[in-house]
Amino acid sequence: MKIKYFIGAFLMAILGAAIALFAYTKIDKGNQVMLVKDSSGVDVSDARAWLTSWAVQQQPGQVDFTYAAEQTVHGVVHVMTKSTVGYSASNPIMEFFYGPRYGQQPRERTVQGYGSGVISSADGYIITNNHVIDEAQEVEVKLNDNRVMTAEIIGRDPNTDLALLKVDATNLPFVRYGDSDALKLGEWVLAVGNPFNLTSTVTAGIVSAKGRNLEILEGDYRIESFIQTDAALNMGNSGGALVNTKGLLVGITSAIYSPNGAYAGNSFAIPVSIVKKVIDDLKEFGEVQRAFIGVTINEVSSEKARELKLNDMKGVLIVTVNEGGAAESAGLKPDDVILKVGDADVTTVTELQEHVGRYRPGDRITVTYVRNGKQNTASLVLKNISGTTAVVTRDTSPALVFGARLEALGASDRKNFNIDYGVKVTEVGEGRLSDLGIRKGVIILSVNGQRVKNADDVREATSDERNLTSIEGIQTNGTFFSYSLRN
């Protein structure tokens, strides 16, 4: 058996060498390497390296990562951030004479952070995680050739934990997009990033699972469909590249799942199917064009499957249909079970959210669903959060009020503060709330005496931002605040 295996491996090696020699003779004639294309249609500038790697990987049990690493490592950057945060310092003398209120003196300090980023185009666009640059006032990137450049934040999307940066440069090495849908469980992948401020680190692992929902992102419109791998990730890897053995980007590394905060065998990446759509939107509009079916959904339980006389528990259950939404216009009803979006099967809520998240408002999709035991199809025109198909920009975003971005509370905030209403400040720009000292992370409970649950409630309570007389809420340290104002 060993002799048979040896002979097979030897013959495969000879075949690989012959192919590589043939390619060298035909392609590298005169030391001028021509561009060739691999099976994915991607140009490969070094034919010999690719063919040698291919020949090695044809041998049983052999995997070579050198080609993928060489194609990727120069397209991953080190992201460095600076921000100024406020805090209170205790002054016991002032507190003794004037009371606790005057014993707290405001102070500021500079906080530095770091992470990774992936160059997505030769003209300097860089993908990273939103949490890497969150609250940053200065962002710099260090390239693999040690050049340091100032980066501009083009846009950010907390709902997917993605952000887009831009540096003033040309002819940069970049990582090409791959296909995360084609990933298979057990397939080898590489993670490239900058853990612990160490540059250009490559680790390898396999795809352990797809479509993981960890409930770590905030916001009612979050999309979580992580690729799980066992490639080692640590602090600083966030925003780096997850690539396949061809060196193509299949995900943006984002999180680890660990009891102690260090790598413990599970790491997670945002699939490139989501990344590409979000980044294209941020580049073109500065804001994600988020599309909605106009329903609330849930998994199909065994009880619901029996009640609806379903043959199995596949699909996603429609719980309610929003008035005026895309689903209502297409005739979908509660208790319909969605099986497909286009040609893609959906078996979980996460999968449905991921597939719909690839479209923009105004796009038309076909949904396959089950009603009364019969399979049907419906054509839907997706809409934005305002119920229209109009393009949303940063200036026209419905979540922007008094210069601040307001979002409905996530499950974690409702649980932590034991509240069922309020809006969270996720970004503060120039405007009335900034003038009042409202910071990111503050939860606004009521405005002008009216409880609020979303940005529209705040806008309505203030007569479209014309009247602000009072505001109450919870500060980032958990304490309650209340302001009475004069217009």
Determine the 3-state secondary structure of 300 from DSSP: coil
Residue 21 confidence class, pLDDT cut points 50, 70, 90: very low
Average of pLDDT values for 20-47? 40
pLDDT of 415 reads 75
Would you mind telling me the total number of residues written for the chain in this entry?
487
Give the pLDDT score at 63: 73
Instruction: Annotate 375-403 with DSSP letters as a single string.
Output: EEEEEEE-B-TTSS-PPP-TTT-TTEETT
Residue 334, pLDDT score: 95
Cβ atoms 194, 241 nearer than 8 A: no
What's the pLDDT score for residue 269? 96
The CB-based long-range contact list for 46-52 (8 Å cut-off, 24+ gap) reads 47/23, 48/20, 48/23, 48/24, 51/16, 51/19, 51/20, 51/23, 52/16, 52/20
Q: In this structure, what token pair is assigned to residue 73?
A: 């490592």
- Sign of CA pseudo-dihedral 298, 416, 403, 430: negative
- pLDDT tens per residue, range 328-363: 999 999 999 999 999 999 989 989 999 999 999 999
Tens digit of pLDDT for each residue in 45-54?
Answer: 455 555 555 5
Taking the model in full, what pTM does it have? Answer: 0.72
Partners of 295 in beta bridges: 321
Name the average pLDDT for the chain. Answer: 82
Give dist(CA 133, CA 114) in Å, integer. Answer: 8
Residues recognised as catalytic = 131, 161, 238
pLDDT at 101 over 70: no
Instruction: Report the share of the chain in percent with pLDDT over 70.
Output: 78
Burial 293-312 (b: 16+ CB within 10 A, else e): bbbebeebeeebbeebebee
